[in-house]
Every structure is written in C-alpha cells, then in structure tokens.
Structure 1
Amino acid sequence: MTVPSVKLNSGYDIPQLGFGVFLVPADEAEKAVSEALEVGYRHIDTAAIYRNEEGVGAAIASSGVPRDELFVTTKLWNDQQAGEKPHDAIRSSLDKLGLDHVDLYLTHWPTPERDTYSNAWQKLIEIRDAGLTRSIGVSNHLPEHLDRLVADTGVVPAVDQIELHPALQQSNVLAWAESNGMKIESWGPLGQGKYPLFEHPAVTAAAEAHGVTPAQAVLRWHLQRGFIVFPKSVRKERMAENFDVFGFELTASEIEQINAIDPGDGSGRVGSHPLEFN
C-alpha cells in the first residue's frame, strides 16, 4: 500500500498517514514503532517531551527500512525555546533518534506567557538552514501566533499540528492555513476516546455504508479533508486497521454530515487550549 503524500511549502513530500507515539511508554516505543513499520507506516511522529525518542530510533535502526523511505518528525519542548536552547535540543533529539537529521521539526506549544515562541521559530529557521531538519513547522499555534511568526521572520510554517477531530475542527486555523500555504496535521484525530465519537449517527452511518469501522471512517474523513493524520496505538491489529483506509471513499454528503458534528463554539476541545497552556 502506497500512502498518498502531501507537498509542503518547503518542497518536500510528507506521507499523509503516519504513526504517532504520544503517550507510548519509553520501554514500549521500540516494539510499537517496529510493528508500525512492519504494517507499512513510513511516517513516525514523536517529540522530546514524549521521552521515547530512543525507542523510536532503535526501531528505525533495526527495521532495515532505508532512511530515505522514512519521514521522521520530532518537536521542541516549551522550556527549550529561549535563547540558543533550540540548537541544543535538536542535537539531543538527533542523538536519541540516532539520525543526522529529521524530516520535520516543530515547536510544540506557543506558551504565550513565556513569550519565547518567536525566538524558537527564528532558531528553527537556523536549524533548517544547518541541515538538521528538512522542514520546520509548529504545533498548537493559533492565527495570532502564526501572524507574529510570519511578521517576525517572513517564513510560513510548513505545518501546524493541532487538535483536530470531528467535534473540534478549528476553522480559524484551517482558513489561515489555506490562505498561507500551510498544511494541517491532526493530533487526537479520533478524539482520544474522550467523547462518544464512534456512536455519532453521522459516523456510524458512514462506517456501515462502507463496511468499515467507525475509526476507519473518521480517519478517512481526515484524509479526504486534506489533513495529515497519525493515529496512535500499541496494538498491531489496531495499527493495521488504522492503516487500512485507502480502499473506500466517503461521499460528499457523508463528509458534510461528519463536518456538522462540530458545534462551532470550541466546546469539543479535549486537550489543552493554546492560550492557556504554558
């Protein structure tokens, strides 16, 4: 199975479906990533704060998959955004991953009370120019944060990785991305099990119509909306199920009905709010 790719504003392609290791314990990460690579995933998303970069790196090293067939993302944590700390942080991540570069490096949160996200972005540009990452982006940034980054540097992030699932579609961030040539990555794409998404009539109807699971229907919704998505699981059978989303296509009506799940007032958020997380 060849996973479709999305072209980033950096000129590089990113596989639209990847494997996320958020909350995968350090001692389970190597096994989980190894199994994901066996299933067929070639896009792995980790972060310094996940504390499992070593396991991800060990899985990559033992997989036999050529490096140029892999897309690896990691992220800069909030307390490393000031001064020259981002340079130390990326080298630490690369050492743990056993790589000489990552494909995408992201700032993790804007943490507005710290007011270091613009400095961090300037350092990521330097890190990219030094060849330690091919593309740079952000996570959890809102339009006001994105506007400042572009005003300060003239550089538009390649991606913004945001909480995105049917109950929280962040239309303001999507509109900014569309206007500025930035791609959207969905974290928590299935709502992290924090609301009954799989029981919603729009989801169950789409799943039944195509003979797939509700999770597969929602992942297909992300893909058809053009989002880059990486579900997380430590069970190989679930990894395979999440990967098996290319043999069917939702209708325009089914997509519209899933779109309508979002109440539009932000109440569907299940994670932290970018203006409040510091």
Structure 2
Amino acid sequence: MAAKLEFNTTEFTLNNGHKIPAVALGTWRATEKDAAKNSVKTALTEGHYRHIDTAAIYGNEEEVGEGIKAANVDRKNIFVTTKLWNSEHKNVENALDESLKKLQLDYVDLYLIHWPVSTNPETKKPYDDHTFVDTWRSLQKIYKEGKKVKAIGVSNFTIKKLEKLLNSEGVDIVPAVNQVEAHPLLTQPELVDYLKSKNIYLEAYSPLGSSDSPLFKNPTIVEIAKKYQVEPAQVLISWAIQRKTVVLPKSVTESRVISNNKTFVLEDEDFEKLNKLSEKDGVVRTCDPDFNNFND
C-alpha cells in the first residue's frame, strides 16, 4: 500500500496565540560553505517549508539569513527560530541583536535558551550568581517589548528544571516550546505529558537520530517504510507530527530536504508500534554534553 505523500502544511498554535509550522528545516552541523544557505533556499522554494531553525552556536546564522533572502519568500510567511548560547546568559539582548544582524532580520519568531546552563565565557564554568531563571527574566523583558521576538521558549529542559523555572519569583510567562531530542527510541513520555499539562509544545530535534542513525536500520521502522513505500525518514517525521510535536529534520542534500517535508498518516497499529519501540529495542540518546549537569 503506497502512502499518500503530501507536503506538510500543519500548524500548531502556541500558548501566546502565534502559529508554528509543524515541520522545520534543522540546520545544526550545516557548516560547509554554502550548505546552510542552499538548504534553506531549497527548503523555502522547493520543499514548501515555512519554518527554519538555527542557533548562534551553529555558526551559520549568516548563511541561513542569505538563504532566506535568496528564497524571496514574504517574511511574514516564514517562522524563524534561533537560540541563546550558554556563555551569553548575562548578555541576552546583545546576543539577540547579533543574531538578528547575522540573519538580516528585524525579529525572530521564536528565541530559545539553548541549554539550561549559564556559564562564564572565560572559565567555561557556571556562574555562582546567575542561573537560567535570571536569563528567562531577561527574555521576558525583551518579549514584552514586542519588537524583536514573537515568542520565547527553552531547549533541553527537564521536568525538574521547568518546575524550577515556572515556580521562580518574577517568572510570569510560560515557555512556548521546549526543544529536546525525541524520536521512537527516545519518546520521553513523562516529559511529553508534563509539557501538554503546561501548554508547552515539544519540538523534536534529531528526529532521524544522528549520522549513521540506528533508526534507519531498525527492523520495525524499515518494515513500516516498506509497507507504505516511503523512506524511513518520512516514517519518523510523520510519526512526530502525528503525536502533535514540532519536528526539525536536518539535511543539506537537496532531494532529502524536499522529501523530508512530504508526510503521510500512519495507521493506528503502526503509530503505536513506534510509540512503544524503545520498550522493545532500548532507549538511544545522541546528544548529552557534559555541561548539561550544571545548574541542577
């Protein structure tokens, strides 16, 4: 049975009323010359994407901006996300201004705290007098001014860290999203349920796994892909949307950029197989840097 593949146009509504396209082009590791520029242009012009995700630490905001410019799509029809790096937590507005300058944009649609880690750029160690809660208060101020960001959120936050944030004095804005690693071998059910209870959308990075991904060789995923006559990547992206998460597949290969935004609806039986895959095959996490233990 061949699946009916269509360019995905699904949007979700964030807790502040703004719409976020369900599929974004991820640009992590798109660092070779013109890789990010070309993939962003392809995504916007041929892949029917309307959501681009980057970050200051990726080192490609200039190229992402060039790709957006080259695509010549109306700015109001593009949702752009970038992120604040760990060493800039005491320097939020200047860091945002630098990102906007590189992206050649007046505003971003979503600005995230990349990790719940506030580090001294000189020592690389956590500050004693500044945590991600202080950083969030700075983001709230910028957001309330209403010019440079349309929504604010977090990334790589656990339930424990979200609880600390939401219960802190001076915090009166709930993050719009929490961007974390998520795929059928890392479904994070407790976090998913918690985020739903707080009206925070989960954004899934590394939805296809890492390079040389075990997901593409997983027998269950391969079997489902054959059943629908689609690519394993399309199974994984379609599953992520079906569970009502935003998904950020990344590729710099033109054909993959385009095919990654062609999705379909899984039958309930196959959707449930993927929901329970980690119970059968074990949990796999590809991104867990040492500094993630700071600021518990």
| TM interval, short-chain normalised | over 0.9
Q: Which of 128, 132, 155 lines up with 1:139 in the alignment?
A: 155
- Structure 1: runs of 5 or more not aligned: none
The residue correspondences of 1:1-278 to structure 2 (distance < 5 A) are: 1=7, 3-25=9-31, 27-28=33-34, 29-39=36-46, 40-82=48-90, 85-111=91-117, 113-114=126-127, 116-130=131-145, 131-152=147-168, 153-193=171-211, 195-245=213-263, 248-263=264-279, 267-272=283-288, 275-276=292-293
**C-alpha offsets along residues 40-85 of structure 1, whole Å, 9 cap, x if unaligned?**
1110000000111111111112221000000000000000112xx0
**C-alpha offsets along residues 218-267 of structure 1, whole Å, 9 cap, x if unaligned?**
1111010111012111110011110111xx31011101111122149984
Structure 1 residue 199: Cα displacement = 2.4
The 1-side partners of 2:135 and 2:281 are apart by 30
Higher relative contact order (CA 8 A, sep 6+): 2
Structure 1 residue 176: Cα displacement = 1.3
Moved more, 126-135 or 26-35: 26-35
The 1-side partners of 2:25 and 2:178 are apart by 17
The 2-side partners of 1:241 and 1:180 are apart by 33
**Distance change in 2, residues 1:106/1:26 (3 Å):** farther
SS, match of residue 209 in structure 1:
helix
Structure 1 residue 35: Cα displacement = 1.4
The 2-side partners of 1:117 and 1:265 are apart by 35
User: Contact 1:138/1:160 (CA < 8 Å) preserved in 2?
Assistant: yes
SS, match of residue 191 in structure 1:
coil
The 2-side partners of 1:267 and 1:253 are apart by 21
Moved more, 189-198 or 69-78: 189-198
SS, match of residue 64 in structure 2:
helix
Percent sequence identity is 38
**C-alpha offsets along residues 10-60 of structure 1, whole Å, 9 cap, x if unaligned?**
110000001011010162221221111122111000000011111111111
Structure 1 residue 118: Cα displacement = 0.7
The 2-side partners of 1:208 and 1:265 are apart by 19
The 2-side partners of 1:249 and 1:105 are apart by 30
The 2-side partners of 1:64 and 1:199 are apart by 38
Moved more, 65-74 or 118-127: 118-127
**Distance change in 2, residues 1:156/1:30 (3 Å):** same
Work out the number of aligned pairs and report it. Answer: 274
SS, match of residue 178 in structure 2:
strand
User: Contact 1:203/1:214 (CA < 8 Å) preserved in 2?
Assistant: yes
**Distance change in 2, residues 1:237/1:100 (3 Å):** same
TM-score (norm 2): 0.87
**C-alpha offsets along residues 106-132 of structure 1, whole Å, 9 cap, x if unaligned?**
000012744521111111111111221
TM-score (norm 1): 0.93
The 1-side partners of 2:85 and 2:182 are apart by 20
Q: Note the aligned Cα RMSD (angstroms).
A: 2.0
User: Contact 1:216/1:242 (CA < 8 Å) preserved in 2?
Assistant: yes
The 1-side partners of 2:213 and 2:283 are apart by 11
Moved more, 138-147 or 24-33: 24-33
